[in-house]
Amino acid sequence: MRRILHCDMDCFYAAVHMRDDPKLKGLPVVIGGDPAGRGVVAAASYEARAFGVHSAMPAARAVRLCPGAVFLKPDFSRYRRESEAIFAIFRSYTPLVQTVALDEAYLDVTDHLEAHGSATALARDIRRRVREERGLTVSIGVGPNRLVAKIASDFGKPDGLTVVPPGRVKEFLEPLPVRRIHGVGPATDRALAELGILTVGDLAQRSQEELAERFGRHGEMLWHFARGEDERPVETSRERKSLGTEHTYSRDLVDVTAMQAELVRLAGEVAAGLAKRGLEARTVAIKVRYGDFTTLTRAHTLPLPTASAAELAREAVSLLATTEVASRPVRLLGVVASGLQDRRASRQLGLFEASDC
């Protein structure tokens, strides 16, 4: 039986600032853009969350909810340095550490319990060291797989430790709202509710065939997850799946020509990123957020992979024509390249194809 930890730093961005500036302790701290402009909340302390402030919220709305909030600009270089120090602590316990974000990781400690005797004791020691060495707190969930550990880490936050032994997985999962299950977003949650499935226990009572018929392979995954079954390993390295960039404008764009010029610029940034990494992309996508915050994406898969700025820009501009930007102001534009592959591999494939002719 595996022993998996999900480590989730508490209000990481805000906590770093609050640790480094004691005057911020106990205050509602919001990390994000200018609330007087078009800024967006990147993170909020628990004191700010108590007022309803959360990430991805417009900063102007955050001010209305919490007039006394202290707004700070993000400092990602500082967060990255802090993350490296914290992950060094994680890796001192096991080499099997999967990075999810700067403040989140899975640890497989199954074969690394000798010094502590149990995963619970090991988790306690991680929390102690993060607190003593970094002045921050981390909430940890302990379970027999990634699914259970992830859900458990949300209990008892901040600075919490929740352990779900293998024999108590069913008892732990069944009362929870079905949206707690990985892969259940708003749309799936609504679809399940229409079937009378509100809790994980409700989901577990349905047959695999019924869920597969309604949701396809996703339904099969949900059937296993509802039973606490998750065979996904902790992966120490993951291939990059996409590369993109986006920009939020201080004033809504209303001129289509200006939007096209922005997409050309953004495509150039993506192309430079691909070239730096020796990658090419098969799929080009754009992200458009209108002035009313409605967001959509459009994508097209190319017949051959590319890292050309001109090709990426051409596809992005073509995709823009399939949207309503001619009649709706635009707040944000983005370009994303996906279906990535090593440029050398594609060139080698072309060589083999030529030799076969």
Residues with catalytic function: 104
Q: Which residue has the tokens 């009572």?
A: 205
Handedness of CA 111, 174, 53, 41 (dihedral sign): positive
Q: Which two tokens stand for residue 4?
A: 């998996």
Measured CA to CA in angstroms, residue 246 lies from 64, 195, 258, 270 at distances of 26, 38, 15, 10
70-72 and 29-32 strand pairing: parallel
Helix (H) or strand (E) holding 295: strand 295-306
Residue 62 in contact with residue 50, Cβ under 8 Å?
Answer: no
Residue 262: enclosing H or E segment and its boundaries? Answer: helix 256-277
> How many angstroms separate the Cα of 171 from the Cα of each of 6, 167, 227, 290, 311?
19, 8, 10, 44, 54
Q: In Å, how far are 95, 146, 247, 265, 306 from 100, measured between CA atoms? A: 15, 12, 23, 29, 28
